[in-house]
Amino acid sequence: MKKCVLIMNPESGKVKNKQNLKNVYDILRKYDYDGEIRYTKRKNDATEIVKNLDNDVDLVISCGGDGTLNEVVTGNMQRKRRITLANLPLGTTNDVGNMYGLHGTMTDNLELLLKGKPKKIDIIKINDDPFVYVACLGDYIDMAYNTPRELKKKYGKIAYIIYGIKQLRNKINKYHIKYKIDNKEYEGIYSFIFITNASRIAGVDDIYYDIKLNDNKFEVAFASIENKKDMIKMLVMTQTRDIKKIPGVTYYQTDNLEIEFLNPPKTSWCIDGEELQSSKINFKFEVDSKTTMLIPKENLSRLFESDI
């Protein structure tokens, strides 16, 4: 039998359901996998677990939210021999899982994964830190990682809105930056920066309509917003428009980006829903295309180039 290791966040209610866990083992055996569960105990634990797995492991399944997936991918990228990965979403927002077409029960999603297809996917790096789908900076971005766990357990996705309303203020911070893309240099003042490789961000589908996860490129959006009224207006427009067509957004698609902040940022980067603390003012973004992810077949033609 093939060997599968599941990296699980024990705080998930679905994980605590013993029947769910029994079903997981049954489904793995059905697809000829001998399953082992490793529970995370602290932040970055998943990275250390994956980095130190034996080379006889055939598949690692991240069982948690987008932050857990980020840790699993990070650990895999630190290995000499990378392992095929899969994402079983058990978090609050589950942007990556929903983008892949995983929006059913835990066991239904596991079946979809194991019947899926291994695909090389682009992982973006901000300096030396990888992210699967988004790195962003700006006011209120901290909702992703500062919303109290108790609120998320009680209210789910609504918890982010509750926390965000409490943070609302009229003034929006701006960032004076120099940046370089495709050997061309630019300068500007922006209030939000989004570096992404995803069609879904913060629970909003179709942020971009033509995203490909294996084109060796990522999307860059710089937004100029003066106040919270303009910010809310832009958020409303993302429900019906491709973000690159929204007024006030400067858009690029590239495989390289360098950003220099002329003044140190007042907020932290958020990568895959978690805070990236850094005192640096220079950031380099590039693509790594060596990670294999097991993807459900449902969205392959939409999310990947030349799928056969």
pLDDT in tens, 78-100: 999 999 999 999 877 789 999 99
Q: Which amino acid is at 241?
A: R
Cα–Cα dist 290/305, whole Å: 16
Q: What does the pLDDT look like over 170-198, one tens digit per residue?
A: 578 899 999 999 999 999 999 999 999 99
CATH class of 129-288: mainly beta
Q: Which amino acid is at 62?
A: S
CATH H superfamily, domain 2-115: Probable inorganic polyphosphate/atp-NAD kinase; domain 1 (3.40.50.10330)
Domain with CATH 2.60.200.40 in the chain: 129-288
User: What is the average pLDDT across 113-140?
Assistant: 94
pLDDT of residue 177: 97
Give residues with Cβ within 8 angstroms of 212, minimum separation 6. Answer: 303, 304, 305
Q: CA triplet 130, 133, 135: central angle to 5 degrees?
A: 65
238 alpha carbon, distance to own chain's centre: 18
The residue ranking higher by pLDDT, 165 or 137, is 137
The residue ranking higher by pLDDT, 213 or 170, is 213
178 with 185: CB under 8 angstroms? Answer: yes
pLDDT of residue 273: 86
Cα–Cα dist 178/189, whole Å: 9
Whether 231 has a pLDDT exceeding 90, the answer reads: no
Cα–Cα dist 179/234, whole Å: 23
pLDDT of residue 198: 92
pLDDT of residue 242: 78
Lowest mean pLDDT among 176-185, 200-209, 261-270: 200-209
Residue 160: both structure tokens together:
């982010």
